[in-house]
Amino acid sequence: MWTTIGHGRAETPDRPAAARLRIHVARFYVLTIEPSLFGDAALVRAWGRIGSFGRQRLDLFASAGEADEALDAWLAR
């Protein structure tokens, strides 16, 4: 059983259309450690689809060493 969806793509019972379309989406991920205005360190995580503003999260740490450990934990995933 085949169902046609946008742009001539097809959905099969073993592979839903939503799963197929997610594969072809270009994404970006950015992880940086930056100083904050108050002298502590911030791990800035930004992500989203290329061509969009995406999302951003800021995690504050008391020292740059703690932020570096958090960055290493994210990179190990």
Residue ranges of the chain whose pLDDT lies below 70: 1-24
CATH number for the segment(s) 3-76 = 2.20.140.10
Q: What is the pTM (predicted TM-score) of this model? A: 0.65
> What residues does each domain of the chain span?
3-76
**Cβ(39)–Cβ(4) below 8 Å:** no
What pLDDT score was predicted for residue 34? 96
Chain centre to alpha carbon of residue 20 = 19
Q: What percent of the chain has pLDDT over 90?
A: 58
Which residues are CB-neighbours of 63 under 8 A, at least 6 positions away? 40, 41
Which residues are CB-neighbours of 51 under 8 A, at least 6 positions away? 26
